[in-house]
Copies of this chain bind each other. A is one copy, B any other.
Amino acid sequence: MGGFGRKAYEFLSELGLGARNPGCYVNGAWTGGGPVVASLNPADNQVIAEVMEASIQDYEEGLRACAEAAKIWMQVPAPKRGEIVRQIGEALRAKLQYLGRLVSLEMGKILPEGIGEVQEIIDMCDYAVGLSRQLNGSVIPSERPNHMMLEVWNPLGIVGVITAFNFPCAVLGWNACIALVCGNCVVWKGAPTTPLVTIAMTEIVAGVLEKNNLPGAIFTSFCGGAEIGQAIACDTRIPLVSFTGSSKVGMMVQQNVNRRFAGQRCTTCRRLLLHESIYHTVLDQLVEVYKQVKIGDPLEKGTLLGPLHTPTSKENFVKGIQAIKEQGGKFLFGGSVVESEGNFVQPTIVEISSNAPVVKEELFGPVLYVMKFQTLNEAIEINNSVPQGLSSSIFTRRPEVIFKWIGPHGSDCGIINVNIPTNGAEIGGAFGGEKATGGGREAGSDSWKQYMRRATCTINYGSELPLAQGINFG
Contact = CB atoms under 8 A, between A and B. Distances in A.
Given A130-B130, A402-B399, A426 B152 contact: no
A132 interface: yes
Interface stretch (A43-51, A108-116, A197-205, A351-359): A108-116
Interface string A410-446: 1111111111110101111111101000110100111
A446 B446 contact: yes
A35 interface: no
Given A116-B468, A425-B456, A131 B132 contact: no
Contacts of A130: 126-134
Contacts of A438: 248
Interface residues of A, number: 113
A400 interface: yes
Contacts of A154: 407-408, 410
Given A418-B460, A420-B466, A426-B133, A151 B411 contact: no
A457 B418 contact: yes
A142 B467 CA distance: 34
Indicate the member of A117, A148, A438, A465 with the most B CB atoms within 10 Å: A148
Indicate the member of A76, A404, A416 with the most B CB atoms within 10 Å: A416
B116 A469 contact: yes
A41 B208 CA distance: 40
A86 interface: yes
Indicate the member of A74, A140, A415 with the most B CB atoms within 10 Å: A140
Interface stretch (A16-24, A77-85, A272-280, A339-347): A77-85
A325 interface: no
Contact of A429 (B140, B248, B466): B140
A381 B425 CA distance: 34
Contacts of A466: 420
A392 to B, nearest CB: 9
Interface of A: 71, 74-80, 82, 86, 110, 112-113, 115-117, 119, 123, 126-155, 183, 248-249, 289, 292, 304, 397-400, 402-404, 406-421, 423, 425-432, 434, 438-439, 441, 444-446, 453-463, 465-471, 473-474
